[in-house]
Amino acid sequence: MTGVVAAPTERALRACAALGVDLETPALRSRPEPGESANRILRHLERDRSVCLIGASGAGKTTLLARVALEASGAGWRVLSAPASVANRAPIDLIGASPDQTMRLLCSCGLGDPACFARPADQLSAGQLERLRLALLMHEVERDVSLRRRTLVIVDELGASLDPLGARAIATTLARWARDKDVALLCATHRPEASADLGARHTLRVRTGASHRVVLDPIESGHGAPLSTEIAIEPGTRDDLRAMLPLHYRAGEPRALVRVLRATHTPTGEPLGVLGVAMPTLNGRWREIAWPGRFSGGDKRASALRLNREIRRLARTIVDPRVRCLGIARRLVESYLAEPLTQRTEAFSVHAHASGFHARAGMRLHRLAPEARHERLLEALEACALQAHELATPALALASARRPDFLLEELRRWARASRASRRLADAAPLDLLRGAARVALAPNPVAFTHP
């Protein structure tokens, strides 16, 4: 790659002179020369669709990627890379798709927490920002699939701001996505352990050789076992669940817990996920859909006994944010369903529109109509000139409600209408609003059953 090079400043000249070197010394050239290496990589990509470059900082990886991008563009490829910076807006607002589609994309990149959806970018960690940049790249590719052009995705310093497990997880996600979308993938990283998770057909070590030219040395592809093969599902304890509860977007330990499964990274023993199984709740509208007549009838006591005997509930599934894109939640559910405590299993979800791991594990999905009390609450909000999503800021919603006394009266009526919310009926106004927000803000409820 050629271009106009600025003349060195007096300060630069003085610094070199103080060390007894001149700017004609090969080691002081502005960048390594890619030479034929870029053409070699492009030939690999034309044939096998995936290449991983490994090298230390300063080896010439970034310069080489730029040369490959230039050559690929000239050969008719559509070349895209992750943005270097991100606007300081919430991730949910940065991707121009529907809210549900955006949440699914963010979840697939390990950004499934509500805080990750809603926080401005400058409040995200370095690792979360790297995941967000990849999500933006994926969206850019997917929104132009109608172009039907050969697409090359280039990612420089993959996983640089993540710990080893996080880097390997995002490499797995990126490789899976590239295969699904049939795009060629060229990644550079200083983390050799991530190469196996990228599934690259060619893994090349980048170094600077004689005459300051970039040299590529083939190395054994894979560089170890993929991370997905190093995860074990095994029995856990209540303490395992409690240790991971802070990672869940809803606080609180499930009631009537009866079993815990955990996912661990076998080489290190690190906990990566947990599944809590509990006794069923007394009421569940989906049961009549899934098992007509089995748990309904005149004798409520007999129905409750049958319910406790035949059903267990998947009450809490938590995965370490570093590895949320590896299918660990699905594997936890699959493991339980392979040896369930009872013949029937159920789960209730408000997150299924963004992350459908229950369905991928083989459970049947049931979409439920909103309850009558929820419909009435939505009508009351409308009468107070409020929309349901405004309850996400309870204090502001109460202050701006057109008829606040009427709203509180309707909220208490809503709370008293169900045993699940009756404790809120006498709560302080803001606590009552927060409790209602969990229902009013959620999409139409979804339940899962098995078999």
Note whether 63 and 30 are within 8 A (CB). Answer: no
Kindly tell me if the per-residue pLDDT of 318 is higher than 80. yes
Q: Which fold has domain 228-367?
A: Aminopeptidase (3.40.630)
Question: pLDDT tens-digit profile of 404-432?
Answer: 899 889 889 988 888 778 888 888 888 88
CA dihedral 81, 84, 89, 95 (to 10 degrees): 0
Question: pLDDT tens-digit profile of 382-402?
Answer: 888 888 778 888 888 888 888
pLDDT of residue 2: 43
Kindly tell me if the per-residue pLDDT of 339 is higher than 90. yes
Mean pLDDT of 434-439: 78
> Which amino acid would we find at residue 109?
C
Task: State which H helix or E strand residue 443 sits in.
Answer: none
3 state SS of 214: strand
pLDDT of residue 1: 40
Residue 165: partners with Cβ closer than 8 Å, 6 or more residues away: 227, 265, 270, 272, 320, 322, 323
Percentage, residues of the chain above pLDDT 90: 24
Arithmetic mean of pLDDT over the chain: 84
Question: What are the tokens at 211?
Answer: 């005459």
pLDDT of residue 240: 96
3 state SS of 298: coil
Q: Which of 133, 156, 153, 161 is closest to 53 using CA atoms? A: 156
Instruction: Specify burial of residue 422 (Cβ count, 10 A radius: 0-12, 13-18, 19+).
Output: exposed
Q: How many CA atoms lie within 13 A of 76 on its CB side?
A: 5
Note whether 314 and 346 are within 8 A (CB). Answer: yes
Whether 26-226 shares its CATH topology with 228-367 is answered no
- Work out the pLDDT band at 244, boundaries 50, 70, 90: very high
Q: Please report, for the chain, the start and end positions of each structural domain, with discontinuous segments joined by +.
A: 26-226, 228-367, 372-447
Q: CA–CA separation, 30 vs 5, rounded Å?
A: 9
pLDDT of residue 3: 45
pLDDT of residue 6: 65
Question: pLDDT tens-digit profile of 283-305?
Answer: 888 898 999 988 887 777 888 89
Distances 57 to 134, 155, 200 between C-alpha atoms, Å: 21, 15, 21
- Work out the pLDDT band at 34, boundaries 50, 70, 90: low
- Work out the pLDDT band at 261, boundaries 50, 70, 90: very high
Note whether 447 and 284 are within 8 A (CB). Answer: yes
Ranked by mean pLDDT, the top range of 15-19, 174-178, 312-316 is 312-316
Q: CA–CA separation, 259 vs 261, rounded Å?
A: 7
pLDDT of residue 29: 54
CATH number of 26-226: 3.40.50.300
User: What does pTM read for this prediction?
Assistant: 0.78
Q: CA–CA separation, 240 vs 183, rounded Å?
A: 40
| Residue 193 phi, psi (nearest 5) | -65, -20
Upstream peptide bond of 271 is cis (omega within 30 degrees of 0): no
